[in-house]
Structure 1
Amino acid sequence: MKPSINIFWFRRDLRLNDNAGLYHALKAGMPVLPIFIFDKHILDQLEDKHDKRVSFIYQAVLELQTELEKHQSSLHVHYAEPLDVFKQLSQEYNVQAVFTNHDYEPYALQRDAAIKELLQQHGCSFFSYKDHVIFEKDEVMKPAGGAYTVFTPYSRVWLKKLDEFYLSSYPVDKYLHRLYQQPSLVIPTLQQMGFEKAEGVTPPKQWKREIIKDYHATRDLPAVAGTSQMGVHLRFGTISIRHLAKVANETNATYLSELIWREFYQAILWHFPHVGQGLAFKPAYDKIPWRHNEADFERWCNGTTGYPIVDAGMRELNETGFMHNRIRMVTASFLTKHLLIDWRWGEAYFAQKLLDYEFASNNGGWQWAAGSGCDAAPYFRIFNPYLQTKKFDKDLVYVRKWVPEFEDFSYPKPMVEHEVARKRALQVYGEALKPS
């Protein structure tokens, strides 16, 4: 006779503590079988077989398995198409319900709809919960209805709505005895999935409160360890957003504002799904005649533009999978304004390289830089790399770390002069955006 169970499907929530969907699964009363799927649809499209994100997820899965073993349970780990996994599990178990947490990205929505339909055919329920954000979907809206498209009023309502209820953690520990009891199961190796381990990809999960306390003063200085580097942990849910927002709310309004930006972009993706389909938030910006110059794009990717602050950022990204947020803005502005290369090219490159890549934030950031997004910098705001360096890396500590040869004869001359590029961008943008 097949065991009767509920399933909890771990995805972007790789932790036991303060996990909304896991809490509801355990509270439902049935033994809960925890599963994780290395999704072939996603992994098989990755060209870099040393992908840092895959290594990060794999390490997080191993840590999750260790925690589950303490409760005489085990994680079912699959490398497969999710639909096939649930077909298989439906044959092995009498599955009553599947619990998980919301994922808002375009592919995830299609995947979840297909799985929900499959489960319903087997008389099985599918329950999904908010866990990745404090507020989602229609929770922060204009008084008369409609979604906010400007950050400041959105953030005001977000802050006004925030109270202890939304920051409270889910007491999962009380119910872990309801995990399905079984011996530890074998987890597929990275090699079996076609990957190799990438070194040095696990930023510490613990942060110093002093960093958040001083965040407003240090966040723009790339040479200083002044950011929490919690992006990757929020991306894969190895830390709870409620916990981090609670600390920020008690400690530093500027840091909390960054967390609100993250939710703002998630809301934009939800309410304006065309931004998830490769289109500009403002349709007029799709008329810009971008220079699809692959050689120039490659120099930007490789960090050989002749602008030290830009090159430092790209080299940091390529080597570590991380780029300081101020430098993300500088490099994005350079690609879209100085080189007039389509922001989608840069968006795709960051998506490929960033350890903390998250679709909504990446798309929002690139459209902000290009001027095509909601609440974007106007198109005539063009970052001057020299002034950005003088303001945020005046002693050239960051530049020297990543571009040690920048004062040598071997270092390339700027691929385009700043003033020439600025005038060209203003002209091209201005012509394209003229009312017809």
Structure 2
Amino acid sequence: MSTALVWLRRDLRLADNPALAHACAHHAQVVPVFIWAPDEEAPWAPGAASRWWLHHSLAALADALAARGSRLLLRHGPTLQALLALAAETGAGAVYWNRLYEPAITARDSAVKAALRATGLRAESFQAHLLWEPWTLASGAGEPYRVFTPFWKAASRAPVALPRPAPDARPAPAAWPASVPLATFGLLPRLGWDTGLRAAWTPGETGALARLGAFTDAALARYRDERDRPGRAGVSRLSPHLHFGEVSPRQVWHAVTTACAGAPLEHPGGEAFLRELGWREFAHHVLFHFPHTAEQPMQERFARYPWAADATAELAAWQRGRTGYPLVDAGMRELWTSGWMHNRVRMLVASFLVKNLRIPWQQGARWFWDTLVDADLAANSLGWQWTAGCGTDAAPYFRVFNPQRQGEQFDADGRYVRRWVPELAALPERWLHAPWTLPTDEQARTRFVPGLSYPRPLVDFAASRAAALAGFEAIRAGAAP
């Protein structure tokens, strides 16, 4: 009676899971296993918020498998030793998994595949995490894409396979091997800072499909018009579910296609949303072909940028949401509380850190890595380099987001700022995004004192913008910092 191991990683779902489907179709017994080996992902092992999500996603998957007469085995790494031991315990002749694309993981997976095959085991991997694998799309010259628009033009013409349903049966071994308790992974925080995460999210496949359904039923129709307004429920919030593989990009693509009557690229909301899904694909394309961009700028000249000499206090104020710029602070507090931040605000807070405080983008990327539930190495790296102006397809280096104007344009009614910066809640909209300008009579009426009730701006926007641009001009001219 043939047995297969299904090595699960960030594909924590039953539906549209090619490795699981293949195992169930070709083997009499299937043993799903998750192996906790964070050292093998160094220097980008999951951060604190990601570990919280992973704990609850694994628990949800274990429940789903148990409801179908199967189990999720949990083991500690090293991965190769754990798989070999489990194969010996079960008599498995095959190990299947779905591919991931980060540099450390691809190197580990290649070594594991070669070692498993050397012992006589069948080892196969499948496509599940992306719509188009990084090596399948290339420019007319046969080179990796460096600019999103031509990438998207080529990708959006490529077919997207239909998602597969969950296998009906979960063939189980007669005797299950031992599994370590989930708590031994130590994924949950020792101090209870996760209250906001628990209130905001439902990790697991059921939660992912519910969120996808809610988005396509309601928000998709107005997505193009409301996606930039953080105070409204205008975005999908699917990013952590996609990262952990609780829903597949194929499922998302085809759900949007169905909601758009089969023509999503001709539907305003559908086209705008699928384009964002395309950015996720592009991020993985770039990181796969240029793995150094997780830590180094794509444009080498930016390594010479003259960063601020000592900005420890400024970095701490940014992290705590105490910069004195309401929309920046609202975003950073939303991040700390919920493990997520609206994309428009992500661009703003990143621009403020890099261009107004002149703190290296890598420090911001590290903070996001630890605090985001959707922390994804490809998307995080691409996003920070785009905002910093040093990456592929980067925003112009001279673009510096003005926090006051961004607030007035995208949070005009103040709904977002008032929620996350409650000390500003009583201020009229006229002064909400520039509370340091509040007149004396309004200070008395609202009992709000700039500098006491809420910090004054950490830096002057105009002066800090000028300093940032001077630094960019210096490296453009080849001057030493």
Q: TM-score, normalised by structure 2?
A: 0.83
1:45 shift after superposition = 8.8
Q: Give, in whole Å, the separation in 1 of the partners of 2:244 and 2:120.
A: 30
User: Does residue 212 of structure 1 match 2:220?
Assistant: yes
Structure-to-structure mapping, 1:141-220, within 5 angstroms: 141-162=138-159, 166-174=160-168, 176-180=169-173, 182=175, 188-190=181-183, 193=186, 195-196=188-189, 198-199=194-195, 200-201=197-198, 202-203=201-202, 204-205=207-208, 206-207=210-211, 208=214, 209=216, 210-220=218-228
Deviations 1:239-282 (A, max 9, x none): 12111111233431111010000000100011112213x11111
User: Does residue 78 of structure 1 match 2:75?
Assistant: yes
Query: In the alignment, which residue of structure 1 is the partner of 2:65?
Result: 68
Structure-to-structure mapping, 1:218-233, within 5 angstroms: 218-233=226-241
RMSD: 2.4
User: Does residue 323 of structure 1 match 2:341?
Assistant: yes
Aligned 8 A contact 2:29 2:173 in 1: yes
* Gap change, CA 1:44 and 1:371, over 3 Å in 2: closer
The one-letter amino acid of 2:29's match is P
Aligned 8 A contact 1:10 1:36 in 2: yes
State the SS of the aligned residue for 2:125.
strand
Q: Give, in whole Å, the separation in 2 of the partners of 1:155 and 1:192.
A: 39
Q: Give, in whole Å, the separation in 2 of the partners of 1:326 and 1:151.
A: 18
Q: Give, in whole Å, the separation in 1 of the partners of 2:385 and 2:103.
A: 18
Query: In the alignment, which residue of structure 2 is the partner of 1:9?
Result: 7
* Gap change, CA 1:99 and 1:192, over 3 Å in 2: closer
User: Does residue 340 of structure 1 match 2:338?
Assistant: no
The one-letter amino acid of 1:246's match is H
The one-letter amino acid of 2:69's match is Q
The one-letter amino acid of 1:428's match is G
1:192 shift after superposition = 6.1
Q: Give, in whole Å, the separation in 2 of the partners of 1:194 and 1:355.
A: 13
Query: In the alignment, which residue of structure 1 is the partner of 2:112?
Result: 115
State the SS of the aligned residue for 1:78.
strand
Deviations 1:86-112 (A, max 9, x none): 232143132312100111112212221
Structure-to-structure mapping, 1:20-169, within 5 angstroms: 20-41=18-39, 51-162=48-159, 166-169=160-163
Which ranges of 4 or more aligned residues in structure 1 deviate by more than 4 Å?
Answer: 42-49, 181-187
User: Does residue 304 of structure 1 match 2:343?
Assistant: no
Aligned 8 A contact 1:336 1:370 in 2: yes
- Count how many residue pairs are aligned between Structure 1 and Structure 2: 428
Q: Give, in whole Å, the separation in 1 of the partners of 2:232 and 2:68.
A: 41
1:54 shift after superposition = 2.2
Aligned 8 A contact 1:14 1:238 in 2: yes
Q: Give, in whole Å, the separation in 2 of the partners of 1:374 and 1:146.
A: 14
Aligned 8 A contact 1:151 1:375 in 2: yes
Once structures 1 and 2 are overlaid, which stretch shifts more, 403-412 or 391-400?
Answer: 403-412
Q: Give, in whole Å, the separation in 1 of the partners of 2:131 and 2:45.
A: 34
User: Does residue 402 of structure 1 match 2:412?
Assistant: no
1:331 shift after superposition = 0.1
Aligned 8 A contact 2:361 2:388 in 1: yes
Once structures 1 and 2 are overlaid, which stretch shifts more, 296-305 or 76-85?
Answer: 76-85
The one-letter amino acid of 1:269's match is L
Q: Give, in whole Å, the separation in 2 of the partners of 1:430 and 1:188.
A: 56
Once structures 1 and 2 are overlaid, which stretch shifts more, 337-346 or 62-71?
Answer: 62-71
Q: Give, in whole Å, the separation in 1 of the partners of 2:90 and 2:178.
A: 16
Query: In the alignment, which residue of structure 2 is the partner of 1:237?
Result: 245
1:25 shift after superposition = 2.2
1:170 shift after superposition = 2.1
User: Does residue 430 of structure 1 match 2:473?
Assistant: yes
State the SS of the aligned residue for 2:4.
strand
1:401 shift after superposition = 1.1
Q: Give, in whole Å, the separation in 1 of the partners of 2:177 and 2:230.
A: 43
Query: In the alignment, which residue of structure 2 is the partner of 1:368?
Result: 386
User: Does residue 282 of structure 1 match 2:302?
Assistant: no
Q: Give, in whole Å, the separation in 2 of the partners of 1:103 and 1:40.
A: 15
Q: Give, in whole Å, the separation in 1 of the partners of 2:323 and 2:141.
A: 48
Structure 2: tracts of 5 or more residues without a match = 261-269, 425-434, 436-447
Aligned 8 A contact 1:21 1:128 in 2: yes
The one-letter amino acid of 1:280's match is P
Aligned 8 A contact 1:31 1:179 in 2: yes
Query: In the alignment, which residue of structure 2 is the partner of 1:413?
Result: 456
1:389 shift after superposition = 0.4
Q: Give, in whole Å, the separation in 2 of the partners of 1:358 and 1:347.
A: 10
Aligned 8 A contact 1:167 1:243 in 2: no
The one-letter amino acid of 1:418's match is F
1:80 shift after superposition = 3.2
1:299 shift after superposition = 0.8
Q: Percent identity, please.
A: 34
Q: Give, in whole Å, the separation in 2 of the partners of 1:365 and 1:46.
A: 16
Q: Give, in whole Å, the separation in 2 of the partners of 1:346 and 1:44.
A: 18
Aligned 8 A contact 1:79 1:193 in 2: no
Q: Equivalent of 1:353, from 365, 371, 378?
A: 371
State the SS of the aligned residue for 2:396.
coil
1:190 shift after superposition = 2.4
* Gap change, CA 1:179 and 1:131, over 3 Å in 2: farther
Q: Give, in whole Å, the separation in 2 of the partners of 1:111 and 1:285.
A: 30
Q: Give, in whole Å, the separation in 2 of the partners of 1:40 and 1:373.
A: 28
Q: Give, in whole Å, the separation in 2 of the partners of 1:420 and 1:321.
A: 32
* Gap change, CA 1:78 and 1:14, over 3 Å in 2: same
1:55 shift after superposition = 2.8
* Gap change, CA 1:299 and 1:47, over 3 Å in 2: farther
Aligned 8 A contact 1:100 1:127 in 2: yes
* Gap change, CA 1:186 and 1:95, over 3 Å in 2: closer
